[in-house]
Amino acid sequence: MSAGANTAAEVAAAVADAHRREWAFVLAATVRVTGDLDDAEEAVQDAYARALETWPARGIPANTGAWLTTAAKRRALDLLRRADVSRRALPKLVGIEGAAASAPPSPLGARDAPDADDAENSVVADDRLRLIFTCCHPALAFEARVALTLRMVCGLTTTEVARAFLVSEPTMAARITRAKRKIAAAGIPYAVPAEADIRERVAGVIDVVHLVYTTGHTAPEGTSLSRRDLTERAIELSELLRLLLPKDRDVAGLLALIYLTEARRASRTDADGDEVMLEHQDRSRWDRAYIDKGLALLATAVDGAAPSRLTVLAAIGAVHDCSPTWEQTDWRRIALLYDTLLAVWPSPVVELNRAIAIGFAESAQSGLDLLDGLAVEPSLVRYPYLQAARAGMLVRLGRRDEAVAAYDEAIALSGNKREQDHLRRQRGAAGGFSAFG
């Protein structure tokens, strides 16, 4: 413990930091004890609550993760003991004297499995990987996999996950509950798949990790442009997947994309936390080490292989990262890469980004025509970046009144305060009045 007592504010900050950094570690370790996601989550939540009660008097521990893991495991063992007592008492309570009161099998098959056996049956015995492969099991619908990963691996509240999906909290709570029940009913194991099955399973994990990163890169809601806790978790999981499958090109492409995107993180916001457009970013602040690692991984990912969604996205990021200035960006190459991306991953959002690239490679009018054609796409009707992109093209064409209207719509659709403030500044510049007017 740290020397002396801590104030309630200091403890609250420490617990919040531990939640961001340690949640996945603590929960994954506790699932090994309980073999049940619900019981493990209850035990971990209890551990965090105990920290809020205990640390003000006893001091904040030097290793918060270890303290929380120990507290969660103790609570988990207490829950198991109570459950065992209830099971032993149940036959007498219902009048079945002498009936066997053996415990039902653990739905995750983890509680009674020794570590050595796990190590033999898994390529990498890492609790976080066990947890994410469980949450990303193909028996679950994709939306359930992402929701469960955000909730269980990344520690988001049900409210936060609901906001990320743009659904109501009760709807998301029901979705997560159904996913947990399906894991229990199907006997989905808490383990990294055997080597014979892992390559088939990893594609689903890659999709989820990528979505976790993009959700953190630009937070759907809140007062910060990004959520560092989510991007850090995605980086860690991607690196673990790379360790697990060093020859997998899709894993290399995922990590390349994340590194090449993360390289620009320090320049995405100013000293006040406000968003800075790529055009105005200080490129000297870009992380050269991340760029070099990303380029090396990209070369591995594309070596003799057909292009995949992630490798094309990484290649687009590489063009930006290797451009000395905004003016020297090779927009024609980026537009061609988006053509390739549409062939392997047709998506309205890809079409939107292709339209923006063409707007810079050819003309603002060309870009605007393509964007206007996407305005009827149902999945983009409430997508703020479509209107923001239209506004940018309208400004370049000198159609400022229309640009202001497009910015107003983008502001109304965005749920992120930093993003809204940025759009207001852009709107103000377009209309020649105060950004917050």
Q: What is the DSSP string of 260-319?
A: HHHTTGGGSB-TTS-B--GGG--GGGS-HHHHHHHHHHHHHHHTTS---HHHHHHHHHHH
Say if CB 24 and CB 128 are below 8 A apart.
yes
**C-alpha pair distances (Å), 375 with each of 83, 212, 380, 385:** 56, 27, 7, 11
What is the pLDDT, as a whole number, of residue 237? Answer: 85
For residue 221, what pLDDT is reported?
74
Note down pLDDT in tens along the chain; length 437 residues. Answer: 555 577 888 899 999 888 888 888 898 889 888 888 888 889 999 999 999 999 998 889 989 989 999 999 999 998 888 766 555 554 443 333 333 333 333 445 444 333 434 433 444 446 777 888 888 888 888 888 888 888 888 888 888 788 767 678 898 888 898 988 888 888 887 777 777 777 778 888 898 899 889 988 988 777 888 888 889 888 988 998 898 788 889 999 999 999 999 999 999 999 988 899 999 999 999 999 999 999 999 999 998 778 899 999 999 999 999 999 999 999 999 999 999 999 999 999 999 999 999 999 999 999 999 999 999 999 899 999 999 999 999 999 999 999 999 999 999 999 888 899 999 999 999 876 433 33
> Which of the listed CATH numbers 3.30.930.10, 3.10.20.740, 1.10.1740.10, 1.10.3720.10 matches domain 8-95?
1.10.1740.10
What residue spans define the domains of the chain?
8-95, 122-240
At residue 146, the pLDDT reads 86
Whole-angstrom distance, CA of residue 256 vs CA of residue 297: 5
For residue 261, the model assigns a pLDDT of 97
